Amino acid sequence: MKITFTFSVLAFGLMTLSGCADKPPADKQTRLLNTLQYMESAIEDKRLDDFMDQVSDDFVSPGRGWGKKDAERLLRIRLLRNKNVHVHQSVKDINWLNDGDEQAIVTVAVAVAGTAFSLTDLPTLRGDLVRFEVTFEKVGDSYLVSQTEWRRASPADFL
């Protein structure tokens, strides 16, 4: 009985350790999509600092002349206005520049509302529908937002 228990504990320990083994690094697209997902959950959880950590210090919104601090102020005001924040994003396109992994332009449609919703609710949604063109630059193993342009979106942008 004691041998069986010892063997069981040892086997469990080995299985646990094998789960910690190095996994192959994620490909560039997976890392970029993970960044987008992390940013979405940070906004929903109102973790603005975590969200802004994914934005380059050199961030610029050329159409508006905004920098990182301007974008942070706008987001802070928007988050304070709503008790709850629900986000749905739909990545439309990822364009890797120069066939590399250093820079990508991502087209993403985003719906934001104060209550939970589904895609079927978009035509009547009382929230914001926005289409972003976001430039990500690789910094170390991470992708940071370096530039963004946006316009109002329609439910068709989510198809």
pLDDT digits (tens, 9 = 90+) for 104-122: 999 999 999 999 999 899 9
Per the confidence metrics, is the pTM higher than 0.95? Answer: no
Is the pLDDT score of 62 beyond 90? no
Give residue 126's identity as a one-letter amino acid code.
Answer: R
Write the CB contacts of 49 (distance below 8 Å, at least 6 apart in sequence).
none
26-158 is classed CATH 3.40.50.1110: no
From the list 151, 111, 134, 112, the residue with the least C-alpha distance to 56 is 134
Per the CB < 8 A criterion, the answer to whether 115 and 84 are in contact is yes
More confident: 73 or 63: 73
Is the pLDDT score of 7 beyond 50? no
Write the CB contacts of 116 (distance below 8 Å, at least 6 apart in sequence).
86
Q: Is the dihedral of CA 29, 79, 88, 71 positive or negative?
A: negative
pLDDT at 85: 95
pLDDT at 82: 87
User: CA angle 121-32-156, nearest 5°?
Assistant: 25
Average pLDDT over residues 52-58: 97
Q: Which residue has the tokens 């370096």?
A: 146
Per the CB < 8 A criterion, the answer to whether 154 and 138 are in contact is no
Listed range (23-27, 89-93, 148-152) with the worst mean pLDDT: 23-27
